[in-house]
Amino acid sequence: MSADGNVETIKKVYEAFGRGDVDAILAVVTDDVDWSADANSDAAPWYGQRTGKDEVARFFHDIAGAVDVREFTPLAFAASDSEVMALIRFGMAGKESGREGSMHLHHYFRFRNGKIEYYRGSEDTAQTAAVLGG
């Protein structure tokens, strides 16, 4: 797929995230997708390695169970025929703590045969822990 096509796929993933449509996200990942937040921490339930569509679905379920997303604004994309990198402005509120925070997220996606085969995301883990009450 082209760089532009890959960016369009990621934009659709982000739109699906905004709607809570996990099935639409799963439709564009490989069966053996390698999905992980790049956090060496257990401060958030969505941290840790995920492999396969069922575990990616759990990743999104874990986010939805822990925080209310207040903002998810893609700011910039860079892409090639096999990769997309994105910068996102993200705001959240902890469901249990009520604390709020905002930060930039950095997402990296790699594609195989038009589908996402690999994802890594980074965020301010200290701020996430504080929002979640840690």
Domain encompassing residue 29: 3-131
Q: Give the chain's domain count.
A: 1
User: What per-residue confidence (pLDDT) applies to 37?
Assistant: 93
Sign of CA dihedral 13, 15, 18, 22: negative
CB contact set of 40 (below 8 Å; sequence gap of 6+):
none
How far is C-alpha 127 from the geometric centre of its chain's CA atoms?
17
Mind listing the pLDDT tens digit for each residue in 48-99?
999 999 999 999 999 999 999 999 999 999 999 999 999 999 999 999 999 9
**77: CATH:** 3.10.450.50
Tell me the pTM.
0.94
**Beta strands at 100-112 and 83-94: parallel, antiparallel or unpaired:** antiparallel
